[in-house]
């Protein structure tokens, strides 16, 4: 008996080709377009065009397409948390929460109501079952690997999911799409935060809360400028500080090294090699272990402190609430609010939210 697999069809090339792979594998394939953001501003919100692209792909592949409105779920479970994190001066990553709460929870539940055996998406990752446990593997195309964004999934969510293009490169995916006469074969990949798109980040956030400018200071407390609001800056940021020459002893760019939240002050240092930008110890909260259990030993474990960072060897310690990470070498621009994600080789084993960073043991 054929399995019914319902794929989340985004309008992009990845989900379209993933659907074609599922058909080639003999599955009974249906598609759902998720509406996660409610906005009429067509200059920045691409939902209408994305739906047209999804419809064209489904017509070409002879797959039925439904649409589901998940905007309420997204607002309550993703966007409100994003705003709260921004207000707290942290650096949130809403795409990770979207995967946990929307694509692999709300959409998964909807697909089951429609009679699906499993769901599928166009993520560049792979799933392997070993010793009665489901493992999340890096995608074959290391430049497109998206396991970082999937680290909050649990055994049930992974067991009910398929990533059909996880073993393909992006070039092959685009070639397959062109061969299938899919009009989105050369569609630009979406980048950045989905609900902000190409618009100005500062202008977008101003619609949702008041912004309080404050002082930009050097480490010694000297005031050298004014920031637009702490929420607009992240650790290690170089661009957009408005701090030029004349404040330092050398010709080198300035970087955000810290935020003093209770004083509304932004601390900057000069030069990418400044020691204040590097830390060896991290405290992470709300850690999710994909297997259900923390690793028994940390030998060979690596971590990413952001999506595009390198896997770095580390040691782990745990208490009842937090995980404490020690890196062999200091890491640049560790940002509270971002996710730290752990790997054992090419297997993503879990991750949590960065709370604090230091250059001494904080456990």
Collapsing DSSP states into helix, strand and coil, what is residue 261? helix
Active site residue 314: no
CB count in 10 Å sphere of residue 198: 9
Q: Which of 45, 58, 86, 98 is catalytic?
A: 98
Active site annotation includes 194:
yes
| Catalytic residue of the set 58, 194, 314, 348 | 194
In terms of Cα–Cα distance, which of 306, 308, 263, 256 is closest to 282?
306
Helical H segments across 3-151, by residue range: 13-24, 47-61, 71-74, 80-87, 94-98, 107-113
Both tokens assigned to 193: 């935060």
Q: φ, ψ for residue 7 (rounded to 5)?
A: -100, 140
In 3D space, the residue among 97, 109, 101, 94 whose CA is nearest the CA of residue 32 turns out to be 109
Does residue 279 contact residue 331 with C-beta atoms inside 8 Å? Answer: yes
Strands 28-35 and 4-8: parallel
Residue 168 Rama label (left phi>0; alpha psi -120 to 50; beta): beta
Which residue matches tokens 């004349």? 246
CB-count burial class (<10 Å; 0-12, 13-18, 19+) for 131: exposed
Upper half-sphere CA count for residue 315 (Cβ side, 13 Å): 8
- Active-site residue list: 98, 194
């Amino acid at each position: 008996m054929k399995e019914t697999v319902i794929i989340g069809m985004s309008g992009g090339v990845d989900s379209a080709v993933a659907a074609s792979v599922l058909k080639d594998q003999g599955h009974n394939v249906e598609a759902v377009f998720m509406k996660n953001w409610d906005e009429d501003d067509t200059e920045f919100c691409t939902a209408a065009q994305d739906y047209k692209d999804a419809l064209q792909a489904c017509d070409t592949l002879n797959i039925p397409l439904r649409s589901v409105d998940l905007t309420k779920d997204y607002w309550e479970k993703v966007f409100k948390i994003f705003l709260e994190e921004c207000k707290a001066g942290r650096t949130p990553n809403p795409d990770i929460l979207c995967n946990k709460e929307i694509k692999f929870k709300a959409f998964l539940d909807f697909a089951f109501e429609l009679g699906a055996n499993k769901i599928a998406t166009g993520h560049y990752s792979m799933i392997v079952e070993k010793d009665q446990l489901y493992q999340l593997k890096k995608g074959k195309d290391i430049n497109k690997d998206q396991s970082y964004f999937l680290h909050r999934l649990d055994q049930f969510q992974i067991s009910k999911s398929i990533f059909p293009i996880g073993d393909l490169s992006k070039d092959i995916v685009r070639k397959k799409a062109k061969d299938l006469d899919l009009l989105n074969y050369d569609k630009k990949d979406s980048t950045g935060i989905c609900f902000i798109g190409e618009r100005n980040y500062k202008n977008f956030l101003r619609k949702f809360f008041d912004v309080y400018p404050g002082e930009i200071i050097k480490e010694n407390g000297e005031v050298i400028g004014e920031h637009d609001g702490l929420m607009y800056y992240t650790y290690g940021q170089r661009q957009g500080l408005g701090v030029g020459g004349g404040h330092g002893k050398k010709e080198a760019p300035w970087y955000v090294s810290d935020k003093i939240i209770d004083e509304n002050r932004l601390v900057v240092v000069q030069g990418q090699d400044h020691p204040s930008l590097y830390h060896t110890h991290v405290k992470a909260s709300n850690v999710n272990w994909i297997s259900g259990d923390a690793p028994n030993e940390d030998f060979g474990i690596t971590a990413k402190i952001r999506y595009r960072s390198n896997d770095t060897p580390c040691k782990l310690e745990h208490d009842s609430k937090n995980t404490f990470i020690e890196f062999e070498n200091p890491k640049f621009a560790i940002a509270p609010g971002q996710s730290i994600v752990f790997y054992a080789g090419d297997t993503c084993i879990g991750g949590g939210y960065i709370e604090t960073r230091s250059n001494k043991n904080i456990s």
